[in-house]
Amino acid sequence: MDKILRINVSAEGGPTALEEGLGEYAGLGGRGMTSGIISKEVPPLCHPLGKDNKLVIAPGMLSGSAAAVSGRISVGCKSPLTGGIKEANSGGQGAQALARLGYAAIVLEGKPADDTLYKVFINKDGVTIEPDNSLKMLGNYATVEKIKAACGDKVCCISIGQAGEMKLSAATVAFTDMEQRPTRHAGRGGVGAVMGSKGIKVIVLDDTGMGMRKPKNPDAFKSANKEFVAGLKQHPVTGEGLPAFGTNVLTNVLNEAGGYPTKNFSTGQFKESTKIAGEALAQIEKDRGGSATQGCHRGCVIQCSGTYNDKDGNFLTKQPEYETVWAHGGNCCIYDLDTIAMLDRLDDDFGLDTIEMGATIAVAMDAGIAEFGDGEAAINLIKEVGKGTPLGRILGNGAKVAGQVLGVERVPVVKGQAMPAYDPRAVQGIGVTYATTTMGADHTAGYAVTANILGVGGSVDALKPEGQIDLSRNLQIATAAIDATGMCLFIAFAILDQPKTFQALLDIINGFHGLSLTADDVTELGKSILSKERDFNARAGFTNKDDRLPEYFKNEKLAPHGVTFAVKDEELDQVFNW
């Protein structure tokens, strides 16, 4: 990965492509690359949908290599949802293909002169950009089918659906999976709206003729990779729980802990949770000829995804993730997995963040637009978004906008982004992360559920404020570094509990790049990424007053524990005190 591809959509006569060297961005990958470029090149006060914003798509430092679970990709920009810096992360085949083609990043910049839609084709011979208005207002599935018909079944697609074209703040960027389906999404923060603002509908990657990226020290790399894989398979979460039941294995765990947000975060337990939990989901998938154990990209050894078929045995969607099942399920009091799977399919097709949309529908239900538990109404509301009706556009701009329009007080957002599937009153460490991360409410930015609920990497009482600041801080630093490598965040379970597995990760990086990084160097990498992001947000006008949860989390006690969020504001201000 020795070059950056810049696509200038402002160029006279249509978008132009320019390849350049890495320059000052040499050695960066994933979130390190996206946040590095955005923090340096994007004016923090610019309009997120304007000419000065940029969309950066970057594989990780290890992507395109034989390193296990290294196929994650980062998408960065100034977020139209939060107004701050954004990195959204996805699986799929995009990272591996882009890295093997030699690109450390694609940068979309400028603003098109009209509403022409373009498709970009990249292979070993170079880059072609063509107008294609036949793709207008197609969903991601139909878009990919048209590309397959024209380009064959070996290419990867990076695309937006109708939501991205309409520039809605909950819009995603879709990446095709191993079956060439647009089921993997850089979901959070409205990155799809920024891609839509650049007039790019789809980027097609064909890495035919390009081999794996080669390590600088093959023997050390191979040995470390073997040790790393063994560590992942040894750990009970990455080796047993996730492969058996997917990410949705967490439903019963969080529900029992009283931290499962239900009925728009009004209580911490859902009485119907077993009907939508990972165990029930896996059984349906097996019974209908789908799969409960599958990777989201080649080289994945954790295998926490799957295939969900309808009642007739036909493919409907990929296995709905824990966050999706919660957002469209428990949070809306819906307990029919077929309904939840259909909502997931519609979100993927329209190009919408399932977390944001589930939270938004729950806010709409709180406002009386639909009844809690009404699955058909939820499906119809998502279809409104796809159609671009006035109500659909309100909902498609996320929970904060919907709450303002509909007059709802209980809107679970930080910096404009909806909270995921952990109530911060019952999982106080994740509340610290929600409040303080640069990204808006985001569980992946510092997954304190590890020590709060699962006992991974130690144990910190989930219901008390003590220890939560240090926990969130350390996890936010580690996460930023992992996001830079292209590794799946789920490796954290094994590397937090097993020192040998963490050392194996260091050895993989060192063996591949010919480096001698230590654990302290990885910490410094994470800190440097966070510092750039914090600096961007500060220049965009954010202050410590933005690092707060909504007031009702401090005032409304959450059943069953009767707790409020108890971490003090002055403590939240100490998270980034290095």
Kindly state the tokens that stand for 224: 């470390």
SS3 per-residue string spanning 433-485: HHHHCCCCCCHHHCCCHHHHHHCCCCCCCCCCCCCHHHHHHHHHHHHHHHHHH
| Per-block mean pLDDT, blocks of 10 residues, the chain (578 long) | 96 95 97 98 98 98 96 97 98 97 98 97 97 98 98 96 98 97 98 98 97 96 97 94 90 98 98 97 94 81 91 96 98 98 98 98 98 98 98 98 97 98 98 98 97 96 98 98 95 95 97 96 97 98 98 98 98 96
- Both 385 and 490 in one domain: the answer is no
Look at residues 396, 421, 446 and tell me which one is the last residue of a structural domain.
Answer: 421
- Both 264 and 183 in one domain: the answer is no
What is the reported pLDDT for 302?
86
Rg (CA), the chain: 22
- Provide the domain limits for residue 415: 248-421
What is the reported pLDDT for 369?
98
Pair 333, 323: CB distance under 8 Å: no
CA 441, chain centre distance (Å): 12
Is residue 290 one of the residues assigned to a domain?
yes
| CATH number for the domain harbouring residue 229 | 1.10.599.10
- Both 140 and 152 in one domain: the answer is yes
d(C-alpha 100, C-alpha 208), whole Å? 9
- Both 43 and 166 in one domain: the answer is yes
What is the reported pLDDT for 233?
96
418: phi then psi, degrees, rounded to nearest 5: -70, 145
Is residue 381 one of the residues assigned to a domain?
yes
- Both 430 and 575 in one domain: the answer is yes
Q: What angle do CA 189, 538, 445 make, to 5 degrees?
A: 45
What is the reported pLDDT for 296?
80
Pair 296, 242: CB distance under 8 Å: no
- Both 408 and 433 in one domain: the answer is no
Is residue 116 one of the residues assigned to a domain?
yes
- Both 62 and 23 in one domain: the answer is yes
- Both 252 and 239 in one domain: the answer is no
d(C-alpha 2, C-alpha 21), whole Å? 6
Burial of 217 (0-12, 13-18, 19+ CB in 10 A): middle
Burial of 300 (0-12, 13-18, 19+ CB in 10 A): buried
Look at residues 394, 421, 448 and tell me which one is the last residue of a structural domain.
Answer: 421
Kindly state the tokens that stand for 458: 């130690």
Is residue 279 one of the residues assigned to a domain?
yes
44: phi then psi, degrees, rounded to nearest 5: -60, -25
- Both 454 and 489 in one domain: the answer is yes
The single-letter DSSP state of residue 106 is: E
| CATH number for the domain harbouring residue 312 | 1.10.569.10
| CATH number for the domain harbouring residue 134 | 3.60.9.10
Q: What angle do CA 508, 511, 513 make, to 5 degrees?
A: 105
Is residue 554 one of the residues assigned to a domain?
yes
**How many domains does the structure of the chain reveal?**
3
Kindly state the tokens that stand for 278: 């990972």
- Both 552 and 458 in one domain: the answer is yes
What is the reported pLDDT for 434?
98
Is residue 553 one of the residues assigned to a domain?
yes
d(C-alpha 120, C-alpha 130), whole Å? 7
First to last CA, the chain: 32
Is residue 548 one of the residues assigned to a domain?
yes
At 501 the three-state DSSP class reads: helix
Contacts of 245 (CB under 8 A, 6+ apart): 277, 278, 279, 281, 282, 292
Tell me the DSSP string of 249-312: GHHHHHHHHT---BTTTTBS--TTGGGTSHHHHHHHHHHTT-EEEE-SSTT-SS--EEEEE-TT
What is the reported pLDDT for 338?
98
Task: List strand residue ranges (DSSP E) for 27-177, in order.
Answer: 54-59, 73-78, 85-90, 103-109, 118-123, 126-131, 156-159, 173-175
Burial of 560 (0-12, 13-18, 19+ CB in 10 A): exposed
What is the reported pLDDT for 303?
82
- Both 16 and 158 in one domain: the answer is yes
β partners of residue 479: none
Kindly state the tokens that stand for 59: 């594989």
- Both 345 and 361 in one domain: the answer is yes
β partners of residue 87: 76
Torsion of CA 306, 310, 315, 318, to 10 degrees: -30
Is residue 210 one of the residues assigned to a domain?
no
